[in-house]
Homo-oligomer: A and B are copies of this chain.
Amino acid sequence: MLIVMNRNAPPEQIQRVVRIIEAKGFTARPIPGGDRVSIGILNNEGPVDPALFLGLPGVKEAIPVTRPYKLVSREIKPEDTLIQVGGVTIGNGHLTVMGGPCAIESEEQALTIAAHVKNAGGHIFRGGAYKPRTSPYTFQGLGLEGLKILAKVRERYDLPVVTEVMDNETFDQVEEYADIVQIGTRNMQNFSLLKRAGLSKRPIMLKRGMSATLEEWLMAAEYIMAGGNHQVMLCERGVRTFVRHSRNTLDLSVVPVVIKESHLPIIIDPSHAAGVRDQVIPLSRAAVAVGAHGLMVEVHHEPQNALSDGAQSLYPDQFARLCADARKMHAVVRAES
């Protein structure tokens, strides 16, 4: 923590800050700068609360220096985390493609789409059983029945499945049927759910909140890891900005930063970012090119009849093309690194 003083802060204001730092058991080191004094805090373990200083007379800013996250940090664990799900490895060096419908609508729908996903070379099947919906009046998912259909998909096609959990009440159930448990955008800072996920035996896919900073996102992953579950993968799905030509703005620049800051795998969901089918294939190529470890894409054999998010779902042949493109891109990226 660095405390920046006003340009003309008198010595007694500076001394007061020094005394407060020392009263906490830390060391204060005043730094006279070009036009003002700053005061560094030394020998603190973990972050210091800026609130201790902001609002004191003469204090202009309190700038945190120490990163608040630990377990997710590459500084703590330099080697990449690899996550094993069935025969699939997720993480550095691998490119994992997950495909499937937004929501499980019926056994027939799920099995039909899963066949396409498998044939195209997809590695993991996705599909929502419990659906977070903006409106209480729209389709909320098949629930347990949807989970059972997912289990059939896994059995029939040897595809691990990922599905979203919405609350602690249904966590046991979801955990029983899913190979990867997804925590959605709207729950990224549902701390009770994160704590439960920390106790899970399943790998967790943690989607980035609609307007989460990198730090908040990594701290949400830290909650899960602090609970004992170290199998966490991150999923970027677009953030909310002023932009209107896509539903959300896919933040691909977060990928190299995540890889630098953390050892956890990072997956890209271009479907929710784009909101329309046209953008999904080019954004998927870009995601692989920027270095992401995987893709999660919505596929539907009859998008115009889908119960949710049909406009952003790919037709099966588009998904097949996407998988082929992604493999070629990944070959180039791997050869370069």
Contact = CB atoms under 8 A, between A and B. Distances in A.
Interface in A13-29: 20, 29
Nearest to A255: B282
A38 B304 contact: no
A323 interface: no
A333 B332 CA distance: 12
B289 A329 contact: yes
Interface stretch (A61-69, A121-129, A142-150, A173-181): A61-69
Interface stretch (A48-56, A85-93, A108-116): A48-56
A33 B40 contact: yes
Contacts of A245: 213-214, 253-254, 257
Nearest to A187: B190
Contact of A290 (B56, B223, B240, B282): B282
Interface string A312-325: 10000000010001
A235 to B, nearest CB: 16
A246 B242 contact: no
A214 B242 CA distance: 11
B242 A260 contact: no
A273 B254 CA distance: 12
Contacts of A199: none
A128 to B, nearest CB: 13
A170 to B, nearest CB: 8
Contact of A136 (B193, B222, B288, B303): B222
Interface string A29-44: 1011111101011111
A42 B39 CA distance: 12
Nearest to A332: B328
A187 B242 CA distance: 19
A2 interface: yes
A218 to B, nearest CB: 10
Interface of A: 2, 4, 6-8, 20, 29, 31-36, 38, 40-47, 49-56, 61, 63, 65-66, 68-69, 75, 132-137, 166-169, 186-193, 195, 209-211, 213-216, 219, 222-223, 226-227, 239-246, 249-257, 260, 273-274, 276-279, 282-283, 285-291, 303-304, 306, 308-312, 321, 325, 328-329, 332-333, 335-336
22 contacts: A2-B40, A2-B65, A6-B75, A29-B31, A33-B65, A33-B66, A50-B311, A52-B310, A54-B310, A55-B310, A61-B65, A63-B63, A68-B134, A136-B223, A186-B190, A186-B191, A211-B211, A213-B243, A239-B242, A246-B257, A250-B252, A285-B289
